């Protein structure tokens, strides 16, 4: 029970913030390019309750990655659907990348200012903050990298559809009804994580967190037990 409460206290806030900002960014960019659907449905808010998916939230604690309810986007409302779709889809991963960079910067600063006195009152604030920032670096990078897998309905798949010529784009978009099944097979029955996602994730953590990359990976490993 203590381990589970520790996981909740460290993972919940950065996890919910990561997936909430990811979805809000989709809706905001869609609104910018002409589709007001998300705004009309009240989804352009950082209130996580508006975006909460119970199963997706629980998955943060069990597999280290989760999801929110997708923000609805009516691509036909976009002024230039094929081109604008690229920006709408890319907004989520880009937002997670920015959050990861900010978390890494704050993590470096907080660790540098941390008091060596374990009994200092500030320690009781700083240590939980360090753990949450470390996990925030990890979860945001993971969401950014995973969502850029070029298979619809993931964001990378929609970016690719927007970049391909019309004939190839139409052919690739037909994979969307089967996309999640393909992704599940790739994740659980191939070495996609071991050979593709994990190396990219490790390199990104080292790039952003620098001297604190070991802390990020250590905290994540502890939370995933």
- Please say whether the beta carbons of 41 and 73 come within 8 A: no
CA distance 101 to 103: 5
Active site residue 127: no
- Please say whether the beta carbons of 87 and 33 come within 8 A: yes
CA distance 82 to 169: 9
Q: How far is CA 22 from the centre of its chain?
A: 6
CA distance 114 to 59: 32
From the list 146, 148, 225, 224, the residue with the least C-alpha distance to 187 is 146
- The total number of residues written for the chain in this structure: 225
| Residue listed under structure tokens 């009781």 | 124
From the list 50, 73, 45, 57, the residue with the least C-alpha distance to 11 is 57
The residues that are catalytic are 23
């Amino acid at each position: 029970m203590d381990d589970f409460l520790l996981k909740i206290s460290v993972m919940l806030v950065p996890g919910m913030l990561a997936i909430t900002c990811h979805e809000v960014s989709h809706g905001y960019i869609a609104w910018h390019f002409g589709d007001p659907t998300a705004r009309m449905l009240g989804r352009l808010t950082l209130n996580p309750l508006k975006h909460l998916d119970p199963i997706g939230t629980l998955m943060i604690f069990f597999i280290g990655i989760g999801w929110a309810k997708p923000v609805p986007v009516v691509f036909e409302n976009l002024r230039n659907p094929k081109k604008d779709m690229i920006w709408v889809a890319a907004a989520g991963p880009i937002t997670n990348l920015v959050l990861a960079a900010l978390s890494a910067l704050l993590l470096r600063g907080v660790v540098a200012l941390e008091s060596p006195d374990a009994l200092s009152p500030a320690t009781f604030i700083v240590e939980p903050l360090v753990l949450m920032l470390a996990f925030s670096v990890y979860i945001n990078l993971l969401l950014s990298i995973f969502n850029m897998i070029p298979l619809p309905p993931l964001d990378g798949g929609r970016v690719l559809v927007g970049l391909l010529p019309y004939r190839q784009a139409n052919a690739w978009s037909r994979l969307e009804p089967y996309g999640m099944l393909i992704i599940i097979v790739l994740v659980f029955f191939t070495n996609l994580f071991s050979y593709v996602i994990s190396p990219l994730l490790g390199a990104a953590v080292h790039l952003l967190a620098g001297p604190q990359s070991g802390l990020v990976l250590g905290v994540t490993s502890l939370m995933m037990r």
